[in-house]
Amino acid sequence: MMTFSDPAILFFLFGLLAGFFKSNLEIPQQISRFLSLYLLMALGLKGGFALEKTGFTSEVLISLACAVSLAIIVPLLAFQLLKRFITHFDAAALAATYGSVSAVTFITATQILDHQSITYGGHMAAAMALMESPAIIIAIFIANRVRSQQAHANPAKQGTPPSLSAKKLLHESFTDGAQLLLLGSLIIGMISGEAGQNMMRPFSVDLFKGLLAFFLLDMGLLAARNVPGLKKQSPLVFAFGVIAPLCHAGLALGMGVIFQLSLGNTVLLMVLASSASYIAVPAVVRYAIPEANPSLYIGMSLALTFPLNLLFGIPLYLQVAQRVLT
């Protein structure tokens, strides 16, 4: 497949192997954090520059509406399925994980589309930002409801974690630093336009591929180190981690067909719907749903779904979308 000749993907595979062989190769946390913020900033600028040229067309608005719809539908369906074979709290956490998105999976997909000269809208970066929070909010409201039901059934139980207020929950969801940087960069790109694009090209374009490869090396190391967290999990959980992303991508493809979205935008919508969060969700859920098992939702997203999407999912979604839409 084309991804296995891409240096960035090869660095991810190299990181996986180094992690499996328990190498002491390690990317310092602060450097990893910088790389993550750089990629989001560069992606936001690229999206803003593109939006400044195209404006808010009907396809832009429809794409954003589809993205938000998926961010609501996916976690609700996932929770209804997962609660049948794991605890309600674990089901809520996994629903948030698979209902939210992976920025690195999305960024990798944009690079593959660029390599194949397939155009897509800059507004898809905004779609990614819009899809990050709804699943988290839904999962926390579900967890609060479960706690209330348990407290009602057992009034003598002590130590129940306090519920987050709706106001605080919304504030934390929409002021997350990474998401704010992405949206801010998008707006700055729209304001500065072509002149800003020419000035920022050495930073946001020329360096992008190399820094993405460096970041994927770190992601490979992290994925390998999270594999032990998946031990002794139910085979049904593993099946969900493999099958659910394909179903979510199929749902996005259906929306692309119904609303006649372009090939590039449909592929990115499929990638977003099929991805799972391993940064934003754990940061919130660890505090908001402490009853859930972090090794489950972090391990599933980072050690299972992320590598499968990166190595096989993105090429598959592209091929299927090309056959359906062209």
For 127-155, the DSSP string reads HHHHHHSHHHHHHHHHHHHHHHHHHHH-T
Residue scoring higher pLDDT (259 or 132): 259
Structural tokens at position 321: 């979308």
**pLDDT at position 204, please?**
85
Percent of the chain at pLDDT above 70?
A: 91
| pLDDT bucket at 86, cuts 50 / 70 / 90 | very high
For 2-150+167-325, which CATH class?
mainly alpha
- The total of other beta-carbon atoms located within 10 Å of residue 79's CB is 22
**pLDDT at position 2, please?**
54
Give residue 117's region: left, alpha or beta (phi > 0; psi -120 to 50).
Answer: left
| pLDDT bucket at 91, cuts 50 / 70 / 90 | very high
Segments in 55-133 forming alpha helices (H): 58-82, 88-99, 103-115, 124-132
Please, are residues 111 and 42 in contact by the beta-carbon 8 Å criterion? no
The most confident of 39-43, 122-126, 223-227, 269-273, by mean pLDDT: 269-273
| Confidence check: pLDDT of 259 > 70 | yes
Mean pLDDT of the chain: 87
Residue scoring higher pLDDT (63 or 132): 63
| pLDDT bucket at 274, cuts 50 / 70 / 90 | very high
Give residue 149's region: left, alpha or beta (phi > 0; psi -120 to 50).
Answer: alpha
Q: What is the pTM of this model?
A: 0.84
Percent of the chain at pLDDT above 90?
A: 44
Identify the weakest region by mean pLDDT among 118-122, 172-176, 312-316. 172-176
**pLDDT at position 175, please?**
60
Q: What is the pLDDT of residues 154-210, one digit of tens each?
A: 765 555 555 555 566 556 555 666 667 878 888 999 899 889 989 999 988 889 889
Identify the weakest region by mean pLDDT among 40-49, 55-64, 167-176. 167-176
| pLDDT bucket at 294, cuts 50 / 70 / 90 | confident
| pLDDT bucket at 118, cuts 50 / 70 / 90 | very high
Structural tokens at position 148: 């209330």
**pLDDT at position 319, please?**
96
